[in-house]
Amino acid sequence: MLANTYTAITKQDGDWWIGWVEEVPSVSCQERTKEALLESLRVTLKEAIESNRENAIKDAAHDYTEEVLIV
């Protein structure tokens, strides 16, 4: 798997830290500390990417190819 860079948007809201991954709208988390929030965002992002990959392969069924896209 290729390493990528993503942007976490974070802010403190009362006793909680909340955050989103700018490039992947479905990834958001809430934690008590900023450090815990960043780790939760990393884990959730990794899970979302893997799930999206699995779903794409499943939807393609068979006879598909994978191509690397560089943006």
Q: What is the pLDDT of residues 7-61, one digit of tens each?
A: 999 999 999 999 999 999 999 999 999 999 999 999 999 999 999 999 999 999 9
The reported pLDDT for the residue numbered 24 is: 95
Q: Tell me if 49 is assigned to some domain.
A: yes
The reported pLDDT for the residue numbered 12 is: 98
**Residue 68: is its pLDDT beyond 60?**
yes
Confidence class for position 69, pLDDT limits 50, 70, 90: confident
* pTM across the whole model: 0.84
47 phi, psi to nearest 5 deg: -65, -40
Round to whole Å and give the CA distance between 51 and 56: 9
- Select from 39, 41, 21 the least CA-distant residue to 29: 41
Q: Tell me if 1 is assigned to some domain.
A: no
> Tokens 């896209």 map to which residue?
69
Split into its structural domains, the chain has a count of 1
* Domain span including residue 49: 8-60
Residue 18 CA: distances (Å) to CA of 6, 11, 39, 41: 16, 6, 12, 10
